[in-house]
Amino acid sequence: VTVPSAGGETDLSKKKRAAALEVALGRAYPEARCSLDYQNPFQLWVATVLSAQCTDSRVNLITPALFRRCPDALSLSTLSQEEVEALIRPTGFFRNKAKSLRQGAALLLTEFSGQVPDTMESLLRIPGVARKTANVLLGNAFGKAEGFVVDTHVLRLALRLGLTARRDPVRIERDLMTLFPRERWTSLSHRLIQHGRQVCKARRPACERCPLTALCPRVGLES
Ligand code: SF4
């Protein structure tokens, strides 16, 4: 990923460009939403853990059977490491994921009455949960936006679109939070992720069919 030059852009013009990007992304991806299947915060936590290094569609294939067997933290905590591994194996990195799920379920039971908590501070205490996962949970399962979901797509797009010059996800998230209104953080995260998956791909961004060209330092702002 190369950091584009937006030609010495001022904070004010960057804010205006961010507002225009928000409108363009809203038009291009009006239906963008979390692509993991879930019915409650517990299921979304489990699905998000499984989605590391795995596609959401593959996670969605295995979670129905997993959630039938483990509908809550208590039932998950009673399974052995080997039993959890067998249930989640197709998602890859299954040993570490099984460990995180079992440790997380145990913590939910001892500290949070078996429920997934709804604050950033409490979520970050769950093994394997960093700000990205916590933001997925807060924004989608609880409707409480505390920040942006800075996954690989949002990280790449924030750089390409000249919305940050940082490389660290936490600092990128902070830059994005200053540019966009809080009530849009969750929907914008989904729209940026969809744009990254469908158009502004890592290896070969499809600039020729991108709805953001006029607002992108890589193309529009340089021409
Ligand atoms: S113009 Fe190209 S680099 Fe810029 S957002 Fe679109 S696809 Fe990505």
Tens digit of pLDDT for each residue in 7-43?
578 887 999 999 999 999 999 999 999 999 999 999 9
139 C-alpha to ligand 1 centroid (Å): 26
Q: Is 206 in the pocket of ligand 1 (CB under 6 A)?
A: yes
Q: Is 219 in the pocket of ligand 1 (CB under 6 A)?
A: yes
Nearest-angstrom CA–CA distance, 56 and 123: 21
Nearest to 154 by CA among 113, 202, 120: 202
Query: Which pLDDT value is given to residue 223?
Result: 41
Q: Is 215 in the pocket of ligand 1 (CB under 6 A)?
A: no
Query: Which pLDDT value is given to residue 212?
Result: 97
Nearest-angstrom CA–CA distance, 4 and 162: 6
Query: Which positions ≥6 away from 67 have C-beta within 8 Å?
Result: 39, 43, 46
201 C-alpha to ligand 1 centroid (Å): 9
Nearest-angstrom CA–CA distance, 187 and 139: 9
Query: Which pLDDT value is given to residue 10?
Result: 84
CA angle, 220 as apex, 219 and 223 as ends, to 5°?
85
Nearest-angstrom CA–CA distance, 190 and 192: 6
Query: Which pLDDT value is given to residue 220?
Result: 67
Nearest-angstrom CA–CA distance, 177 and 189: 11
Query: Which pLDDT value is given to residue 218?
Result: 84
130 alpha-carbon distance from chain centroid: 11
**Residue 213 Cα: closest atom of ligand 1:** 1
DSSP string for residues in 203-222? SS--GGG-TTGGG-TTTGGG
Q: Is 160 in the pocket of ligand 1 (CB under 6 A)?
A: yes
Task: Please give the C-alpha separations between residue 115 and each of 125, 149, 194, 196, 223, in angstroms, as whole numbers.
Answer: 13, 22, 30, 33, 53
Cβ atoms within 10 Å, residue 68: 9
pTM of the predicted model as reported, rounded to 2 decimal places: 0.90
Question: What stretches in the chain show pLDDT beneath 50?
Answer: 1-4, 222-223
Indicate the Cα dihedral angle 203, 206, 212, 217, nearest 10°.
Answer: 50
Query: Which pLDDT value is given to residue 66?
Result: 97
Nearest-angstrom CA–CA distance, 153 and 194: 8
**Residue 217 Cα: closest atom of ligand 1:** 4
